[in-house]
Chain A
Amino acid sequence: MNKILLMILQRFGLGLLTLFVVSIIIFVGVEFLPGDIAEALLGQGASPENVAALRHELGLDRPAHTRYIDWWAGVLQGDLGTSLANRRDIAELITFRLSNTLFLALTAAAISVPLALLFGILAALYRNSLYDRSVNVVTLGAVSAPEFLTAYVLILYFSVKLGWFPSLSNIDQDTSFIDKLHQVALPAITLMGVILAYMMRMVRASIINLLASAYIEMAHLKGMPKFRVIVKHALPNAWAPIANIIAISLAYLVVGVVVVEVVFIYPGLGQLMVDSVSNRDIPVVQACSMIFAGTYILLNLTADIVSICTNPRLLHPK
């Protein structure tokens, strides 16, 4: 048990280190801006006073390392700075949007993970059957379609033709839970389409891999029912790859939300980030990147830890 705890601490430390390096990249990246951010932001016709004022506001008149330390000190106290575009406090700007994005991603995940496991295992069990082959073609199709295609096809049928769901998500602080679910339906289905297909393919592949091992054949030969073989023998060893697949898919969700949020004008973090990129609102882009990268690192970390915990052999690397 101690060993596992030590391993978790180690991984966690490694994750923090990665996040730290990422923050340096995000921060230093801005330093490489050709010319001066203040000039770039204000355009060519800006007066020298304006440029100097903006430089002071951005802290560009101080050396880079003190700015970096100040930025971290601010982040640790929950102060992410202010947006250049509308002068609002970034932490305040982000909180509501982050909760919306999490709501969307979690809704999509809660439905697609169990479905992917079920369909993936079925496809592995009846492999090369008609069901398996059609699953292969359909999932490849779903993986190949860009998210905005799925999104617009859904809008065309369920919103414009049938009128069941709104084509634009209109969510504010007072929206009730049921109403939110209704609003989030089409974006969530779009996201599900991609990760469901991806997860199913991976689950199928990892189960097929397992079913080829000798001990599974042994279980079959001694006359165990097929279902029992899967649940008792295959699944315990499949948890590690499956946990990995789920974590990777959720990490994919983190990125997938960006396009989907823009299509449905969903008030989330991805939409905010895209807007800020077009406005070159650098503090907001930095904050959003840190949140996205942090979530991504955390998910990959969890996958690592789960797969090591469920497979004691990985605790003793050769």
Chain B
Amino acid sequence: MSSNDISPPKAQVNRPRRTRLQNAFREILKAPITAKFGMLVILTYGFVAIFAPFLTPYSETEIVGPEFDVWGNEFILGTDGLGRDMLTRLLFGARNTVGIAFITTLLAFVIGGIMGLLSAIYTGWFDQVASRVVDVLMAIPQLIFALMLLTIFGTSIPILIIVIATLDATRIFRVTRAVSLNVVVLDYFEAARLRGERIFWLCIREILPNITAPLLAEFGLRFCFVFLMIAALSFLGLGIQPPTADWGSMVRENAVLITYGDITPILPAIAIAILTLGVNFLVDWFLHKSSGLKDGH
């Protein structure tokens, strides 16, 4: 696959070096079809999330027609049990569900990443305490823990984000700590430390550039996980609360239509599956690329 981009030697040898952007672009063109599908999906979802209000004439909570209207009359995908436009709610779901999952993953990375980096640098009591706490937190199934915490603190969006981000940060802590530990033992890191660099510099300039690839892949995987978990919680009626348009709770609200053989309730679930699949495909390709492992013959 990679043999055809070695171009034959040409007359003018000193062409300007390709910039990083050009390199990235070439890699993307060479990507397998699954990874291209993943990128297309992510771009589309991002576009819909940002421009949702401009893509539809209605608002997400507006009652616009009769209840459970069928497809294609006035509303392309019909209406839900309260007479709200299905398509509008699907489009706004991209903004709410994906947006909340994205913010949660970011927060989880900030918490888990910082703790992981500090644990790798201060290998002493700090590392011991943080690691044991994480061990215990990981001994409880995440969904069960989330359910318990939501019982205690109630269900609102900020609490949902904080609870899931904290629980998910445990996984990120482990990954960050493990990959940073490999960097901390290297000579250049020791040199930086002896130079008396501050902790902030050590993290940002010495460790982070060397662990970006595994962390990026982890971000994709964690996003899928958080996204599915929030969808599951909302489906159970304990996550994002109505009337916010959200894919998980939309499935639940319209589930009764299934018994009439109508596939409308499945559409939000399919929207969830396609995004997760896209991200997974992209991470799969990225991991394959960055690990340099090409398990060939």
Let me know if A289 and B139 touch, CB within 8 A: no
Let me know if B143 and A280 touch, CB within 8 A: no
Collect the chain B residues with CB atoms within 8 Å of residue A258's CB: 143-144, 147, 232, 236
**Bound CA span A57–B112, Å:** 40
Q: A32-B152, A156-B258 are in contact. Are A18 and B136 (CB under 8 A)?
A: yes
Listed residue (B140, B142, B269, B277) with the most chain A CB atoms within 10 angstroms of its CB: B140
Q: Tell which of A33, A255, A282 touches B144, judged by Cβ atoms closer than 8 Å.
A: A255
Q: Does B187 contact A (CB under 8 A)?
A: no
Collect the chain B residues with CB atoms within 8 Å of residue A273's CB: 144, 147
Q: Which of A258-280 contact B (CB under 8 A)?
A: 258-259, 262-263, 273-274, 276-278, 280
Q: Which of B252-271 contact A (CB under 8 A)?
A: 255, 258-261, 263, 265-266, 269-270
Q: Tell which of A22, A30, A137, A155 touches B258, judged by Cβ atoms closer than 8 Å.
A: A155
Residue on B nearest A161 in the bound complex, by CB:
B261
Collect the chain B residues with CB atoms within 8 Å of residue A152's CB: 251, 255, 258, 265-266, 269
Q: Does A208 contact B (CB under 8 A)?
A: yes
Per-position 1/0 for A242-259, Cβ under 8 A of B = 000000000100110011
Give me the interface of A with B, judged by CB distance under 8 Å.
18-19, 21-22, 25-26, 29-30, 32-34, 127-128, 136-137, 140-141, 143-149, 152-153, 155-156, 160-161, 167, 208, 212, 251, 254-255, 258-259, 262-263, 273-274, 276-278, 280, 282, 285-286, 288-289, 292-293, 296-297, 300
Q: Does B224 contact A (CB under 8 A)?
A: yes
Collect the chain A residues with CB atoms within 8 Å of residue B255's CB: 152, 263
Let me know if A29 and B152 touch, CB within 8 A: yes
Let me know if A278 and B238 touch, CB within 8 A: yes
A-B contact pairs, 25 of them (CB 8 A): A33-B153, A136-B284, A141-B273, A144-B276, A145-B273, A146-B228, A146-B248, A146-B276, A148-B248, A149-B272, A152-B251, A152-B266, A156-B263, A160-B258, A160-B261, A208-B295, A212-B295, A255-B141, A258-B143, A259-B232, A259-B236, A262-B235, A273-B147, A274-B237, A282-B151
**Bound CA span A289–B148, Å:** 7
Let me know if A26 and B148 touch, CB within 8 A: yes
Least CB distance from B18 to A in Å reads 30
Least CB distance from A216 to B in Å reads 14
Q: Does B109 contact A (CB under 8 A)?
A: no
Let me know if B228 and A297 touch, CB within 8 A: no
Least CB distance from B248 to A in Å reads 8
* Chain B residues touching A, range: 35 or more
Residue on A nearest B284 in the bound complex, by CB:
A140
Q: Tell which of A30, A143, A292 touches B141, judged by Cβ atoms closer than 8 Å.
A: A292
Q: Tell which of B145, B152, B232, B236 touches A30, judged by Cβ atoms closer than 8 Å.
A: B152
Q: Does B231 contact A (CB under 8 A)?
A: yes
Collect the chain A residues with CB atoms within 8 Å of residue B136's CB: 18, 21-22, 25
Q: Which of B106-140 contact A (CB under 8 A)?
A: 135-136, 139-140
- 14 more contacts with CB within 8 A, not counting A255-B142, A289-B145, are A32-B153, A141-B277, A146-B269, A148-B235, A152-B255, A160-B260, A167-B258, A258-B143, A259-B236, A262-B236, A263-B255, A277-B238, A285-B148, A289-B148
Let me know if A146 and B144 touch, CB within 8 A: no
**Bound CA span A161–B224, Å:** 32
Residue on A nearest B152 in the bound complex, by CB:
A29
Least CB distance from B105 to A in Å reads 16
Q: Does B297 contact A (CB under 8 A)?
A: yes
Listed residue (B139, B269, B273, B296) with the most chain A CB atoms within 10 angstroms of its CB: B139
Residue on B nearest A208 in the bound complex, by CB:
B295
Least CB distance from B83 to A in Å reads 22
Q: 10 tightest A-B contacts by CB?
A: A149-B269, A144-B276, A144-B277, A145-B273, A292-B144, A255-B141, A255-B143, A293-B140, A18-B139, A277-B151
State the main secondary structure of chain A at its contact with B.
helix
Let me know if B139 and A297 touch, CB within 8 A: yes
Let me know if A140 and B280 touch, CB within 8 A: yes
Residue on B nearest A157 in the bound complex, by CB:
B261
Let me know if B259 and A296 touch, CB within 8 A: no
Residue on A nearest B149 in the bound complex, by CB:
A29
**Bound CA span A143–B281, Å:** 11
Residue on A nearest B34 in the bound complex, by CB:
A137
Q: Does B183 contact A (CB under 8 A)?
A: no
Collect the chain A residues with CB atoms within 8 Å of residue B296's CB: 128
Q: Does B150 contact A (CB under 8 A)?
A: yes
Least CB distance from A244 to B in Å reads 15
Least CB distance from B284 to A in Å reads 7
Collect the chain A residues with CB atoms within 8 Å of residue B145's CB: 289
